[in-house]
Amino acid sequence: MAQRYVRPTVAGWLTPTLIAPWISVYTAVTAIAFLGIDHGLFGKALGWVVGMLVGSVWAFVFCGLLVFVDLALLGVKVRTLPAGKRGWGTALLSPLLVFASYAAVPPYKFYPAGPWAIAAAILVPMIVVAIGVRLFGGQKPPR
């Protein structure tokens, strides 16, 4: 039996999209500071504060990107707006996937190529993960 389509509300879509990445980023920053993985650059307390500041800016940009990707995929009728468990799951997981790509290819290694290369090394994984997670974790619209 086919599952009945229930249109998500704006609040049901925006709540996980705008809150879950912040939770994920703050959890990752706190874990890194607690475990001392910051290579002793600032110390644990100051490293946590700097990480929270940088993570807040990063999460703000990523949330905006998720909203843009969701609306673009809805506009071309490829995916519906993610809500409920699907919305929370993809929004919580996606920042961790971006951080894994940063661990594999650190953006600071693009320093010799200039500031635009560093910006691209930060933004391209965000864009790829946002589109990929929303495409593969999303729900097709009803026909």
Kindly tell me if the per-residue pLDDT of 110 is higher than 90. Answer: yes
pLDDT over 60 at 1, yes or no = no
Average pLDDT of the segment spanning 88-110: 95
C-alpha distances in Å from residue 43, one per residue of 106, 107, 121: 21, 22, 26
Give the other-Cβ count within 10 Å of 13's Cβ: 21
pLDDT at position 43 is 74
CA nearest 133: which of 77, 62, 30? 62
- pLDDT for residue 3 is more than 90: no
* % of the chain exceeding 70 in pLDDT: 94
Kindly state the tokens that stand for 122. Answer: 């930060």
| Domain ranges, ordered by start, for the chain | 10-137
User: Are 133 and 62 contacting, i.e. CB atoms less than 8 angstroms apart?
Assistant: no
Residue 6: φ, ψ to 5°: -120, 120
What CA–CA distance (Å, rounded) separates 86 from 25? 19
The whole-number pLDDT of residue 38 equals 66
The whole-number pLDDT of residue 65 equals 98
The overall pTM is greater than 0.85: yes
What pLDDT, on a 0 to 100 scale, did the predictor assign at position 141? Answer: 84
Q: Could you give the CA distance from residue 98 to residue 101 in angstroms, rounded to a whole number?
A: 5
